[in-house]
Structure 1
Amino acid sequence: MRAILASWLTAQTGYVFTKKYLILISKYLEGCMVDRALKAARVMLKNSKIEDEVFSAELLNKGGNNRLYRIEGASNQYLLKSYFVCGTSHLERIKREFSFLEYANEYAPEFVPSPIAFDLKSGFGLMDFIEGSQKFNLKENPQFVSLATKFIKKLNPQRGRGAMLKLPDAAEAEFSFQGHFGLIHNRLRSLAEIEVSDTLDITARNIANKLAQNWPMVIQKACAKIEKYCLSPNANLPARFLCASPSDFGFHNAINPIIGNLRFIDFEYAGKDDPAKLICDFFEQVACPIPKKYEQIFISQIGKHFDDEDFISLRVEILRPLYVVKWICIILNVFRESGRKRTSFAHDINLASLHEVKALQLLKAQEKVEAIL
């Protein structure tokens, strides 16, 4: 936020402000935001007819794209989420998250926080606060992946098919191979927005160019498999395979609580989706990598749950290389202006910190590039 503030002040006044002055302004603005969060929490609790005296708000700075506040009440703790605003997209993200939380509390309540209220006008959402750790030793604790599998199964019971089909489509949901191709192609095109100002930007641009050059080959290989197995690139996934998906699914969006069961959080992209996409995202996200040894059992368990392990496995086989490309694009988002704005909104990042984030993301991107090209 400080870097954006510095740029804005310089653009408005023509002066370059010192670091000390910027820190003072940042602290003042942070105090204003905390006061606003506290007021919003009180209003939402009152409107929800929850009698609890709220007395403090703490900015947690743990959201990937949003600001998170721990709200202390006399009886309970709450999590207040301030959604990143970009046009009107935050409205859909808020509605999507709370509709999914309501659905999940019906079918898998032990795995998710309870929603309380949201306010589209202010861009806030309020839910239960879960005290716990976000550190997972997945290599030595297979029970976590087993619990993730159980969560997906509980989200998709046979008795809940009607309710699931009423969920909105997940963000970037696609149900045909051609749809998946188009989705990832658009993400590749967005990397053209990378502006070069230092050597890290040059490296990111080179990776983007390399992906663009090899993208036709990735599509060609996928189409060869589609033809080999007599599938249609344009046919939509049969309705019986549609699933309720958390979308941005992984242990980066999970909490191991001090008391109780593993909980999953952050459902602003959730909804109806292709289970093969869910599986690809689960294993290709880089925030909390899933060890390779769990892949086949996870794919098998999800496939069996939908009564066609071979079909789900085949879709994963075809889509997996495409989703490696997708995740490289996501990793490089910080090199785009829109990606930097999201990161700066959620975290107080100065120019030095931004340089470190870019360097780390480049390492992750290069590792994935080597795996696919």
Structure 2
Amino acid sequence: MIIGIDLDNTIIRYDKVFKDVAFKLKLIPKNYSTEKKKIKELILLKNNGIKSWKKIQGLVYGKYINKAEIMPSVYNFIKLCRKKNYKLYIISHKTKYGHFDSEKILLRNEAIKWLKKREFFDKNKLAFKKEDIFFANTRKQKIKLISKLKCDWFIDDLPEIFKDRTFPKETKKILFMKENKEKNLNKINLLDWTSISNKILGPLKPKDILYLNNFNEIKYTKKIIKVKGHGNSQLYKISTNDKKDFAVKYYPDLLLDSRPRLKKEYETLKFLAAKKNFNVPKPINKNYKTNIGLYEWIEGKPIKKPTNKDINEVIKFVKKLKKISISKKSNKFNMASEACLSAKELIKQIHDRFKKLNNFKINNIKLKNFLDNRFSHTLDKAQDICFVKWPSSSQNRFLQKKLRVLSPSDFGFHNVLKNKKKMTFIDFEYFGWDDPVKLTADFLWHPSMNLSNLQSKKWQDSMLKIFKNDKHFKDRLKASIPLYGLRWVMIILNEFTPGIINKRQNALRNNFMKKKVILDKQMIKANKYLNKVEYLLNSFDHKYNNEITYSK
């Protein structure tokens, strides 16, 4: 098979460079979007906008190309193509000099330097030869090269290439871009390189994981199996001939989710494992190019029905988190994923999710009725009541740093493995600073938690004790519980968004459930949660005003 690939904005990612150069030329504000399309749209509205945009392009593709990144997951795609002995060409429409470039920097030379620096010409890595790289002066010349090289597939971010009538009919087209309203191009539109890889090469096989990563710690592999049921990251168990087991985690494509999950989890586990009193998997190695981490394998099962002893263990874990939160070394961590440090931020997150789901209600009458007739009314009521009840110090302003805690952000028994010896806490992809109230409330609301009323009360009482120095903790928790319930209603209904339901079905492929069955189950669960929120809101002026009485 012969595959041709465009270079700029297909292999090379320039988003941050466009932003930096445009800001340097005082054409955009400092905090403007990093998305190239939005930057271009803003600049074209200005006087001499076309000239300014061409000047930026010349600088980005020439003088500042060294600051550009490799597109997420393209490294893996190329490596897997090499495994199959497919022929790869890079075919780029690139002029000799950039527009309005007084320095006359040779764009093609700079592109070759960029490729060399990123191991494209390393025979043990991406294994390109200089003869595999083609530069065309015009779009027509580029299309002639695609035809001459007899490409079976061509991947490009510009629809104009595929619009051209001279484009070879026998070459399959993949348009690599976020949004596309172009029709009649006879092409496949894919948003990320993982999807492109799946389309051309097929789904990733367990042995491909070994090929992508030559971890020194893994020698003489005996067996590698994919662990089922992990909806976000892909998890594999590797067993070696010397009776060692490892966990290999392949994180989601960074084009689909820009959060650096690998870096966050690896650095967190490295930090916690060094403390010795934290039961977490030991991080062993990582590869940021392939977005894959290697960890100690933990034998055990998630806790579906916790005992009182299990509750005590998670409470101890929170105490340890509280203790290390005052350490100077903990300052290196950023905010937890979707941290909520004020009432305003929590309400905004609910509205953002609500707005997103509203885009898809036209496709499902049950979702439409639920959002229009029930949820919107309860949300209005909740934000009016809860905002007033929320302590004024963090209604609009962020919670003081001294009151925040390091949090896994996705904390509960669903992320615990238990065996006869101990409980081990796993999954720290979202770790960082947050309001301990969010940790407390999410533990109670998470659908995977199966707590008795007594266990819920024990958890709440323990959190009140651990964070007793925060004089507004109890009032903040009381005010936030209904809002976090609404936030979880939105998370439960995520299944109605395109892509999520397919991921869920893939995760359950050995216990395949029809789409309608999955969505109906989620709707029943969402109604149950909303009933609980409405009960809590109605109880605010009665016993709920004097004590926290949450239980699912």
Q: Per the shorter chain, which TM-score range? A: 0.7 to 0.9
State the SS of the aligned residue for 1:272.
strand
Aligned equivalent of 2:542: none
Aligned equivalent of 2:367: 204
Q: CA deviation at 1:356?
A: 2.7
Q: CA deviation at 1:275?
A: 0.2
1:1-373 superposed matches below 5 A: 29=202, 32-40=204-212, 43=214, 45-46=215-216, 50=217, 52-74=219-241, 75-85=243-253, 87=255, 89=257, 92-107=260-275, 109-138=277-306, 141-157=307-323, 160-197=326-363, 201-209=364-372, 210-226=374-390, 230-258=392-420, 260-308=421-469, 311-344=472-505, 346-348=507-509, 352-373=513-534
Q: CA deviation at 1:179?
A: 1.5
Q: CA deviation at 1:327?
A: 0.5
Q: CA deviation at 1:212?
A: 2.2
The answer (yes or no) to whether the contact 1:63–1:346 under 8 Å persists in 2 is: yes
The answer (yes or no) to whether the contact 1:67–1:347 under 8 Å persists in 2 is: no
Cα shift readout 1:156-176 (whole Å, capped 9, x = no counterpart): 215853222321210001212
Q: CA deviation at 1:296?
A: 3.2
**Aligned residue pairs: how many?**
339
Cα shift readout 1:292-319 (whole Å, capped 9, x = no counterpart): 3223332332333234265222211111
The structure with the largest alpha-carbon Rg is 2
More off after superposition, 206-215 vs 162-171: 206-215
Identity percentage over the alignment? 24
CA distance in 2, matches of 1:186, 1:326: 10
Higher RCO structure, 1 or 2 (CA under 8 Å, sep 6+): 1
State the SS of the aligned residue for 1:325.
helix
The answer (yes or no) to whether the contact 2:227–2:237 under 8 Å persists in 1 is: yes
State the SS of the aligned residue for 2:472.
helix
The answer (yes or no) to whether the contact 1:67–1:82 under 8 Å persists in 2 is: yes
CA distance in 2, matches of 1:173, 1:108: 27
C-alpha RMSD of matched pairs (Å) = 2.9
Q: Pick closer, same or farther for the CA change 1:207–1:109 going to 2, 3 Å.
A: farther
Q: Pick closer, same or farther for the CA change 1:214–1:307 going to 2, 3 Å.
A: closer
State the SS of the aligned residue for 2:246.
strand
Paired residue type of 1:161: S
State the SS of the aligned residue for 1:57.
strand
CA distance in 2, matches of 1:290, 1:261: 20
CA distance in 1, matches of 2:469, 2:450: 26
Structure 1: runs of 5+ lacking an equivalent: 1-7, 15-24
Aligned equivalent of 1:4: none
Q: CA deviation at 1:52?
A: 3.6
Q: Pick closer, same or farther for the CA change 1:12–1:101 going to 2, 3 Å.
A: farther
CA distance in 2, matches of 1:165, 1:315: 24
Cα shift readout 1:26-65 (whole Å, capped 9, x = no counterpart): 9x945x5212123245x1x31xxx3643232101112132
The alignment's TM-score, normalised by the length of structure 2, stands at 0.56
Q: CA deviation at 1:123?
A: 2.3
CA distance in 2, matches of 1:143, 1:345: 35
CA distance in 2, matches of 1:361, 1:177: 27
Paired residue type of 1:205: K
State the SS of the aligned residue for 2:327.
helix
The answer (yes or no) to whether the contact 2:262–2:288 under 8 Å persists in 1 is: yes
Greater fraction of residues in helix = 1
Q: Pick closer, same or farther for the CA change 1:90–1:71 going to 2, 3 Å.
A: farther
CA distance in 1, matches of 2:269, 2:236: 19
More off after superposition, 318-327 vs 172-181: 172-181
Q: CA deviation at 1:120?
A: 2.5
State the SS of the aligned residue for 1:89.
coil
